[in-house]
Amino acid sequence: MNIKESGYWQKWENLENELLPICEKLGRFPTRRELVNYGIKGVEAHYHLYGGQEEIARRLGFKTFYQQTRPNLKNFSFIRHALEELISETGQFPSPSDLTNKGFDNIKQAINKYHGGFEKVAAEMGYDLKYTPKNKFKNWNYVENELKKIMQILGHFPTKKELQSLGFTGLGDSLNRYYGGFRKVRQLLEMKL
């Protein structure tokens, strides 16, 4: 990554010379993450000098990633295509944090806002989630099924320490937070068995 001298980004010619080839390659104005991948860091702090990112993109003859994708976010085919590209890289359905780390917050938000959430989209695409969604522990059926699996392994209702040692700290925390504590949940499950 080249370190630019002070005032470098304050000259339109420098901005244009650095960004135009990237825009031409991508077919749109690059995201911050893409700029970093191309070895350009810190330029976005100077966008205000030229009227902002969208104005710079317009002057260069391109749209921003957001301008290009915004109309398509409600279209499931667009979301599916974007996710399939990411899946081809990793071999698994991306988590919300995967999308954020790759610069696809808009896809993450669209999945939740327009398409029923990550579980639904993954299921529609034939994938299982490799992570536990944040609200999973608010779903009693999920909690009950997980506890039953653990009880089969242990032969009894788990203690908080047992859940922690098995890597189910979040499950144990949810019993206290959402369901009245370990004792109440244990009694509820024992009545069902």
Asked whether the CA dihedral 21, 23, 24, 25 is positive or negative, the reply is positive
| pTM of the predicted model as reported, rounded to 2 decimal places | 0.44
**In 3-state terms, what secondary structure has residue 144?**
helix
Q: Where do the structural domains in the chain lie, given as residue ranges?
A: 8-68, 73-131, 135-192
pLDDT tens, N- to C-terminus, the chain (193 residues) = 566 788 899 999 999 999 999 999 988 898 877 888 888 888 888 888 999 888 999 999 998 877 877 768 888 988 998 898 888 877 788 888 888 777 787 888 899 889 988 888 988 998 877 666 667 788 888 889 889 989 988 999 999 999 888 878 888 888 998 999 999 999 988 877 6
* Cα 27 to Cα 91: distance, rounded to the nearest angstrom: 26
Rounded CA-CA distance 163/169 in Å is 6
| Burial class for 119, CB neighbours closer than 10 Å (0-12, 13-18, 19+) | middle
